[in-house]
């Protein structure tokens, strides 16, 4: 392991400004929460805002320290998040133990290889497809032997047989969803000024989500996608856009120098990708009949419920930045 992938976070000149900005935003959010919930202070954990603040207060220092500590800590954090996400996805979709174990293996490999051997990631994805296919072959069963009146191509199947193919596809998707899309955080961190850029994206998504929640609660009337997420409103979408610009403003401190078109346009892309990522996970949850992906984070639900927007934002932003910077 390359020890140069470990750095002292305090040595980065951006660490203190970012840490102070994060602390200030958390302080403002706490003050707002206490004001809104002033009549419910005796049961804060049952309110809608305080659990969100508490989860954010725990996650923010972990993310900031991991990003500023170098490639290895960041890759480890992404891997842990990816494995939890695979578990949540597997639980929601009732993946069998065999498929789930394979998804764990490849889900852990993708972020680590992205950090230290990115040229091997396509090969790992290919092997994961082959592995899921082989598992499907050996798990497949037919109802009964083919009779003399039936051809082999018309052999009867059962729901259980059809589910083998579904499980193979879902298992590969579990690898491609959080592990692969989340690995773009590592690629972004390796850009010039990558730590600042990555934290700008995280801040943009976090504030986009918060502003969407507040604007939607205060002004939301017109539904955006009522069949997918009844609580999503166009007022909330405006909050997404506002929060994305506020959060991304840290990039002005982080560098590198970017074209004005990127500085003005990327936050809009972040807001759009954030909304789509959130709605896509809602489609998954509605398709399998669950409310939350998990219970890890008070106020949010599971890890997937917290990072769903970021999973779409990271690759979209990497594409734009890699072409423009």
What is the residue-level pLDDT of the chain in tens, covering all 325 positions?
454 567 888 888 888 888 888 888 889 888 988 888 888 888 887 777 888 888 888 898 999 999 999 999 999 999 999 999 999 999 999 999 999 999 999 999 999 999 999 999 999 999 999 999 999 999 887 645 545 445 555 555 444 567 899 999 999 999 999 999 999 999 999 988 888 889 889 988 988 888 887 888 778 778 888 888 888 888 888 989 998 988 887 666 655 677 888 888 999 999 999 999 999 999 999 999 998 888 888 878 889 999 999 999 999 999 999 888 6
Residue 260 CA to residue 262 CA, distance in Å, equals 5
How many alpha carbons lie under 13 Å from residue 199 in its C-beta half-sphere? 29
Query: 3-state class of 151 per DSSP?
Result: coil
Residue 246 CA to residue 208 CA, distance in Å, equals 8
Sign, Cα dihedral of 65, 257, 312, 319: negative
């Amino acid at each position: 392991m390359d020890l140069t992938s470990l750095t002292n976070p305090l040595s980065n000149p951006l660490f203190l400004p970012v840490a102070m900005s994060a602390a200030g935003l958390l302080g403002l959010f706490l003050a707002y929460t206490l004001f809104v919930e002033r009549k419910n202070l005796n049961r804060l954990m049952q309110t809608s805002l305080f659990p969100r603040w508490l989860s954010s207060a725990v996650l923010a220092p972990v993310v900031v320290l991991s990003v500023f500590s170098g490639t290895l800590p960041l890759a480890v954090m992404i891997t842990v998040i990816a494995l939890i996400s695979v578990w949540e996805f597997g639980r929601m979709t009732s993946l069998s133990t065999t498929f789930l174990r394979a998804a764990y293996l490849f889900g852990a490999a993708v972020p680590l290889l992205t950090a230290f051997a990115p040229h091997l990631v396509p090969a790992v994805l290919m092997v994961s497809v082959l592995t899921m296919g082989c598992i499907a072959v050996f798990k497949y069963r037919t109802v009964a032997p083919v009779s003399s009146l039936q051809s082999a191509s018309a052999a009867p199947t059962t729901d259980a047989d059809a589910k083998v193919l579904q499980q193979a596809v879902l298992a590969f998707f579990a690898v491609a969803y959080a592990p692969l899309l989340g690995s773009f955080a590592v690629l972004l961190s390796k850009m010039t000024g990558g730590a600042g850029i990555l934290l700008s994206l995280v801040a943009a998504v976090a504030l986009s989500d918060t502003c969407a929640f507040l604007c939607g609660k205060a002004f939301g009337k017109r539904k955006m996608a009522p069949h997918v997420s009844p609580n999503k409103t166009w007022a909330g979408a405006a909050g997404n856009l506002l929060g994305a610009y506020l959060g991304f403003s840290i990039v002005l401190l982080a560098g590198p120098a970017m074209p004005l078109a990127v500085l003005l346009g990327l936050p809009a892309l972040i807001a759009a990708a954030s909304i789509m990522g959130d709605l896509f996970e809602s489609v998954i949850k509605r398709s399998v009949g669950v409310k939350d992906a998990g219970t890890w984070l008070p106020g949010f639900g599971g890890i997937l419920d917290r990072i769903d927007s970021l999973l779409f934002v990271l690759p979209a932003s990497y594409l734009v930045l890699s072409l423009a910077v």
